Amino acid sequence: MAATHGEYRGYLRNSVDMEAAQHRFHPVPSSEPTYRPLLFGTLAVMGLLQVASSVAILLHLTGYLQEVDLSTAPHLPIEEVQTEPVLNALRDPRKNRRCKIPTDSLPSAHLPIKSQREYGKKGEAKAITIDWDEVPRHRHKMGYERGKLVVNVSGFYYVYAKTCFRYYVFNPTDSGDATTTGVDVSNAQLIQYVYHESIKQNSKSSVLMKTGSTMRWEDTNYNMYCAQQGRGVQLEKGDALYVNVSNAWMLDPEGEGTYFGAIKLGN
């Protein structure tokens, strides 16, 4: 029991011993004074870099504005000021000049149907070449001969054609021609062909475009159908273009509905 009592006394300490024991643990030096200057230095460097980048951006923008030279903007029309950057972008770097497309020099043609001509007999389905009215319609740097557009300048062209067909019978009380009565139009094939006559192939013709439909019309009502098509094609000087249609006797004689044309887009 004495040993046991001595052991408990060893564990039991008074307040004086506890205070004395606290001095055995030495405080670890704080690292805060070491990291604080490094943190302030990093923030200072980041601030300087941000200021420098802002100044660089400001100088860049100032130089760009000076290059555009906006000081002359108030003296120029609004349209000219707005389109100047676009025109500068179209400059040819090899020739140091602006690229312009003179629209008045592009070979082109737009011809309506020649309404005075009769195209085939009533009821005839055979394909016939359409004759076009060249005077006073638009035709520039392109020839015309017997329904054919002739290419005078080689290049890449957009060719288009539209034909309208119509059929109707006058009532007996109307004062008009009723000779179409009795013509069978219940299965009319209205086909439009655009031909390309190549000078390199001894003026041999080939179908460039084809469109149309088989119409089931009534012979007592007003009927109308239009076929339209267009495409790009490389043409050589001396080539020719023309349009054939079946049942041409039903062609609409108005130029707003039946026309033919081409325009040069490039080389």
Q: Which of 98, 125, 143 is the last residue of a domain?
A: 98
Least confident of 23-37, 79-93, 207-221: 79-93
Tell me: do 84 and 39 sit in the same domain: yes
Question: pLDDT tens-digit profile of 196-221?
Answer: 999 998 888 999 999 999 888 876 67
Structure tokens at 191: 């086909």
pLDDT, residue 118, reads: 83
Number of folded domains in the chain?
Answer: 2
pLDDT, residue 187, reads: 84
E strands, the chain, in order: 91-92, 97-98, 108-112, 128-129, 138-140, 142-145, 148-151, 155-167, 188-198, 204-215, 223-235, 240-245, 259-266
Tell me: do 240 and 110 sit in the same domain: yes
pLDDT, residue 125, reads: 86
**229 in a domain, yes or no?**
yes
pLDDT, residue 142, reads: 94
pLDDT grade for 74, boundaries at 50, 70 and 90: very low
Contacts 24+ apart (CB under 8 A), 251-254: 251/113, 251/119, 251/130, 251/163, 251/164, 251/165, 252/113, 252/163, 252/164, 252/165, 252/166, 252/224, 252/226, 253/113, 253/115, 254/112, 254/113, 254/115, 254/164
What average pLDDT does this structure show over 90-103? Answer: 50
**27 in a domain, yes or no?**
no
What average pLDDT does this structure show over 48-65? Answer: 64
Does pTM top 0.75 for this prediction?
no
CATH of the domain at 178: 2.60.120.40
Q: Which of 45, 64, 98 is the last residue of a domain?
A: 98
pLDDT grade for 232, boundaries at 50, 70 and 90: very high
Tell me: do 183 and 56 sit in the same domain: no
Tell me: do 48 and 86 sit in the same domain: yes
Tell me: do 83 and 144 sit in the same domain: no
- Dmax over CA atoms of the chain, in Å, equals 151
**149 in a domain, yes or no?**
yes
Tell me: do 70 and 175 sit in the same domain: no
- Whether the CB-CB separation of 236 and 153 falls below 8 Å is answered with no
- Burial grade of 241 (CB within 10 A; 0-12, 13-18, 19 or more): buried
pLDDT, residue 130, reads: 94
**6 in a domain, yes or no?**
no
**204 in a domain, yes or no?**
yes
Tell me: do 93 and 109 sit in the same domain: no
Q: Which residues are CB-contacts of 37 (< 8 A; sequence separation ≥ 6)?
A: none
pLDDT grade for 158, boundaries at 50, 70 and 90: very high
* Count of other CB atoms within 10 angstroms of residue 244: 20
- Burial grade of 162 (CB within 10 A; 0-12, 13-18, 19 or more): buried
Give the domain extent around 116. 103-266
Tell me: do 48 and 170 sit in the same domain: no
Q: Which of 44, 78, 98 is the last residue of a domain?
A: 98
pLDDT, residue 172, reads: 55
Most confident segment among 50-54, 146-150, 216-220: 146-150
